[in-house]
Chains A and B, each alone.
Chain A
Amino acid sequence: MSKRIDVKDLNVYYGNFLAVEDVNINIQAKSVTAFIGPSGCGKSTFLRTLNRMHEVLPGARVEGEVLLDGDNLYGPGVDPVTVRTQVGMVFQRPNPFPTMSIRDNVLAGVKLNNKKISKGAADALVEKSLVGANLWNEVKDRLDKPGSGLSGGQQQRLCIARAIAVEPQVILMDEPCSALDPISTLAVEDLINELKDQYTVVIVTHNMQQAARVSDKTAFFNIAGTGKPGKLIEFADTTSIFNNPSQKATEDYVSGRFG
């Protein structure tokens, strides 16, 4: 239940503005890959092209290929809706549906496309997903309460449960801990470690310690200046990015000399 991602010569544009230039990267199945880099370097933009969520913004488009186990996400006739059922996403700010109960939030993705699911199967899936997101013990007695009543960290884990309930191949996380306190962050990081047994995980983070703690491989993105496109500078094992980077810019960034 996990696929690899190969990106070939990818350019991302907003209208005529080139936001991310010429990215080539191979992301292994069942691994955690972290994207780090200064603000505005295009790492979140690039992450969104991996499930075509960038298309939500008018004028955003890409050139190049993103292959999910060899299938091009941008091939002719590919429906972004199908892509997103395969490549799930967790956002920067926890965003459970406020009008739904905890249980309905978990089932939200499963009930799409008019799929019918029996109550027993739904109960089992809710439990499995919430256990998978390390949230079951905290919410099992209040599944019918609104998801927005949980703490920020619990809400984020609820969003992860919602994402894994549809059994995607890949889970993208866009700074999932930036709105969370350290204890909730720890809970989510532990969860990411467990998720990689089953899923391919890609995480954008501003927190370099977090990248060092959770990821197997790290990609460093940088930008030459405002108005210039972001670029992938270096992609390697996390230990070598942090201990022995091959690029000067990477070394400056991870050692805190800028950014």
Chain B
Amino acid sequence: MTTNSLTTSQGAGRAGDKVFSGAAMAAGCLILAVLFGVALFLVVQAIPALTAPAADIQGGHGFFAYIAPIVVGTLIAAVIALVIATPVAIGVALFISHYAPRRLAAGLGYVVDLLAAIPSVVYGAWGAAFLAKEISPAYDWLATYLGWIPIFEGPASATGKTILTAGIVLSVMVLPIITSLSREIFLQTPKLHEEAALALGATRWEMIKMAVLPFGRPGIISAIMLGLGRALGETMAVALVLSSGVLTASLIQSGNQTIAAEIALNFPEASGLKVNTLIAAGLVLFVITLGVNMIARWIITRHKEFSGAN
């Protein structure tokens, strides 16, 4: 009987391979298991709230009437944060990667990263004790001169503890996330593409539009989505800054609430069906975040053909 000499393998080298692939697989499965566990917990705990008679839910008009205003409030706060933070973050990232002298760039990058190291409760305290007070004259001005726009309708909050202030605090908090990710992406732009643009007679800004931003587009979107994730889920800063209330169109009056802050403020004293209601609110937040990430992924893959990866 002949044996194929190629079938005998060298045992020692393969063992390490198996251990590594096993460890990698275990890590991958663990993350799925944790995610599934959290989702399962949320769904099971939320069912009583979702099936309870409308009158038993806080507010007395059922779960949907309870959750809808705070979903809108959450989205408003997150959108304000991103609208402010995104252009600033991309500008700072471009400055660090393509304009600033090398030494200044390193220092500035470090300072921006430090912003991410500040605990959110500190941001909350700063927003409530300092920013809200300082910014309320600006709200008065907005109410006086731009009050005809519904989102700036007066009278402005005297304390300045509004959803707009919360959004501004959130924008400072997501700024370092978007900045440092975008900066890393911009630095990775292939020299070849930058030189191609410059050799055609592009100015520096035209080179950035032609080579750097298109190359960095998927990375920028990912960075924004990570920032959005933080803005949607941020609890402490919003809980401290926002003087919450019913859903209000005006951004400069007190009112509105976000899901995360609603849960944090009410959970300690909640019992019975109220706990289930808050967990159901958490489930809604989970679904929103998941949806946002899936949309981001779809946007990134939509232009795969032109991504430069091929």
Contacts and interface: CB of A to CB of B under 8 A. Distances in A.
A pairs with B: yes
B201 A112 contact: yes
A88 B242 CA distance: 58
Interface residues of B, number: 27
Contact of B192 (A58, A93, A112, A146): A93
A84 to B, nearest CB: 4
B172 interface: no
B207 to A, nearest CB: 10
Interface in B152-203: 190, 192-203
Interface string A142-156: 000110110000000
Contact of B201 (A56, A81, A95): A81
B298 interface: no
B200 A53 contact: no
A112 B206 contact: yes
Given A81-B202, A81-B203, A146-B306, A97 B217 contact: no
Contacts of A109: 200-202
A58 to B, nearest CB: 8
Interface string B215-227: 1010000000000
A226 interface: no
- Give chain B's interface secondary structure class: helix
A45 to B, nearest CB: 14
Nearest to A86: B201
Contacts of A81: 201-203
A89 B309 CA distance: 24
B310 A149 contact: yes
Given A95-B193, A108-B210, A159-B196, A85 B310 contact: no
Given A99-B307, A146-B305, A112 B211 contact: no
A135 interface: no
B191 to A, nearest CB: 8
Nearest to A90: B199
Nearest to B202: A112
A53 B199 contact: yes
A238 interface: no
Range for the number of chain A residues in contact with chain B: 20 to 34
A99 B306 contact: yes
Most chain A Cβ neighbours within 10 Å, of B190, B192, B200, B210 = B200
Contact of B215 (A51, A98, A145, A162): A98
Contact of A85 (B193, B195, B201): B201
A89 B199 contact: yes
A91 interface: yes
Given A99-B215, A148-B310, A91 B195 contact: yes
Contacts of A163: 199-200
Interface in A83-113: 84-85, 88-89, 91, 93, 95-101, 108-109, 112-113
A209 interface: no
Contacts of A95: 190, 192-193, 195-196
A81 B207 CA distance: 11
B214 interface: yes
A207 B190 CA distance: 26
A99 B197 contact: no
A25 to B, nearest CB: 21
B198 A99 contact: no
B162 to A, nearest CB: 40
B308 interface: yes
Contacts of A149: 305, 310
Contacts of B306: 98-101, 146, 148
A16 interface: no
Interface in B245-294: none
A46 to B, nearest CB: 16
A154 to B, nearest CB: 14
B308 A99 contact: yes
A82 interface: yes
Contact of B308 (A82, A85, A98, A145): A98
Nearest to B191: A56
Interface in B57-103: 102
Contacts of B200: 84-85, 88, 108-109, 112, 162-163, 166
Nearest to B196: A95
A112 B199 CA distance: 12
A97 B200 CA distance: 12
19 contacts: A53-B195, A56-B195, A84-B199, A91-B196, A91-B199, A95-B190, A97-B196, A98-B214, A98-B215, A98-B310, A99-B215, A100-B214, A100-B306, A108-B210, A109-B200, A112-B206, A113-B201, A148-B306, A149-B305
Given A85-B200, A109-B202, 15 more contacts: A53-B198, A56-B194, A56-B195, A58-B102, A84-B200, A89-B199, A93-B192, A95-B192, A98-B214, A108-B197, A109-B201, A145-B305, A146-B306, A146-B310, A162-B200
Interface of A: 51, 53, 56, 58, 81-82, 84-85, 88-89, 91, 93, 95-101, 108-109, 112-113, 145-146, 148-149, 159, 162-163, 166
Q: Which 4 A-B pairs have the closest CB atoms?
A: A98-B308, A85-B201, A109-B200, A99-B214
